Amino acid sequence: MSRPGIDTSELSDRTFGVYYQACDKIVGSFGRNRLVDDLASDDFDRLRAGLVKGRGPVSLRNDVRHVRMVFKFAYDAHLIERPVRFEPHFKIPTKAVLRRERQKNGKRMFEAAEIRTILDAATQPLRAMVLLAANGGLGNTDVSSLPISAIDFDTGWLDYPRPKTAVERRIPLWTETLDAVKEAIDKRPKAKDASDDGLVFLTIFGQRFVRTGKNRNPIDQVANQFAKLLKRLDLKRPGINFYALRHGFETVAGESRDQISVNMIMGHADQTMADNYREGVSDERLQAVVETVRQWLWPDDGPVEA
């Protein structure tokens, strides 16, 4: 069966899985045989009430957006004759609600001492993943999809467009990061799928850490293993997960006062006219950014022992 977007590589398999799950939630609430033309605002009120159970405002925001996108796609693809009316209550949480939630949970980043504690306790390959996140702001999908070919082990540079956006990214790696990645590759099991053989990280079963499973359910072993480690170290708290390392990098790297270079490392496109004309950032500027973060993480310049 043809899967538009997936088969042309315009839509990641994981993103397709997210939309698939949104469809499951729609069918679960309305029933498989319900006519779209028969849906009214009170139906979406009940759907939203079901989505909010046991979930925070950020998760609810994402769910509502995905449901709306499913129906928009259906209209754009001429699968339904008219746009669906969701109002008045099927909305994402307000910015005020999201801000209060964020204030309640506190900063979504680790302190330097906490990262050092994590690195001391983490085993491979999770330790190498944490270092990549702390060193260059790599996220869960970033490390899961990272090809060995993206790393120049002689020069210590990582050239790796973000899988999510294809925005170019160039990162000078710390010695500690390079050593940990080399060790992880040496201990890596055989790939279950030959197409994954060139990846830096594989699970003990030879699979990608972030992938989709049966019924398009998203599987994120980076998040799962990191959460277990945080719980063991008594560092788990609301809003704190592997992606918080990326938040921390952005925050600390900003102290370099070179946001253009920070964006290059993070893989952010600023959508400005200057960004359209800019053809690169000097390696010296990029090195200064990661050195700012390294000095924050190890202020006494004492590298973490592997």
Contacts of 103 (CB under 8 A, 6+ apart): none
Question: CB–CB of 119/180 below 8 Å?
Answer: no
What pLDDT, on a 0 to 100 scale, did the predictor assign at position 146? Answer: 96
Instruction: Return the H-helix or E-strand segment holding 212.
Output: strand 210-212
User: What distance in Å separates the CA atoms of residue 201 and residue 219, rounded to the nearest whole number?
Assistant: 15
| Residue 204 CB-density burial (10 A; 0-12 exposed, 13-18 middle, 19+ buried) | exposed
SS3 (DSSP) at 151? strand
99-112: per-residue pLDDT in tens?
787 767 667 899 99
* Sequential pLDDT tens for the chain (306 residues): 445 554 444 566 778 888 888 899 999 999 999 999 999 889 999 999 999 887 888 888 999 999 999 999 999 999 999 999 887 889 888 888 777 877 676 678 999 999 999 999 999 999 999 999 999 999 999 999 999 999 999 999 999 987 767 788 999 999 999 999 999 999 999 999 999 999 999 999 999 999 988 777 889 999 999 999 999 999 999 889 999 999 999 999 999 999 999 999 998 866 664 555 556 689 999 999 999 999 999 998 655 454
What pLDDT, on a 0 to 100 scale, did the predictor assign at position 140? Answer: 95
What is the CB neighbour count within 10 angstroms for residue 146? 23
What pLDDT, on a 0 to 100 scale, did the predictor assign at position 216? Answer: 75
Residue in the block written with tokens 């949970």: 105
User: Would you give the DSSP letter of residue 152?
Assistant: E
Pick the CATH number of 13-105 from 3.40.50, 1.20.120, 1.10.3210, 1.10.150: 1.10.150
Question: CB–CB of 91/99 below 8 Å?
Answer: no
| Residue 223 CB-density burial (10 A; 0-12 exposed, 13-18 middle, 19+ buried) | middle
206-217: per-residue pLDDT in tens?
999 999 887 778
Hey, which residues does 147 pair with through a beta bridge? 199
pTM of the model as a whole: 0.77
Cα 214 to chain centroid, rounded: 21
Q: Give me 191's structure tokens.
A: 């790939």
Question: CB–CB of 198/185 below 8 Å?
Answer: no
> Is the backbone of residue 161 left (phi > 0), alpha (psi -120 to 50) or beta?
beta
**Sheet strands side by side (includes 170-172):** 151-152, 157-159, 170-172
What pLDDT, on a 0 to 100 scale, did the predictor assign at position 194? Answer: 95
Nearest alpha-carbon partner for 176 in 121, 135, 117: 135
What pLDDT, on a 0 to 100 scale, did the predictor assign at position 114? Answer: 98
Residue in the block written with tokens 């009430």: 49
Cα 240 to chain centroid, rounded: 13
Question: Where in the chain are all domains bearing CATH 1.10.150?
Answer: 13-105
Question: Where in the chain are all domains bearing CATH 1.10.443.10?
Answer: 112-297
User: What distance in Å separates the CA atoms of residue 181 and residue 240, rounded to the nearest whole number?
Assistant: 24
Q: Which CATH architecture has domain 112-297?
A: Orthogonal Bundle (1.10)
User: Would you give the DSSP letter of residue 199?
Assistant: B
User: What distance in Å separates the CA atoms of residue 2 and residue 238, rounded to the nearest whole number?
Assistant: 40
Question: CB–CB of 222/129 below 8 Å?
Answer: yes
Phi, psi (rounded to 5 degrees) for 219: -120, 125
What pLDDT, on a 0 to 100 scale, did the predictor assign at position 271? Answer: 60
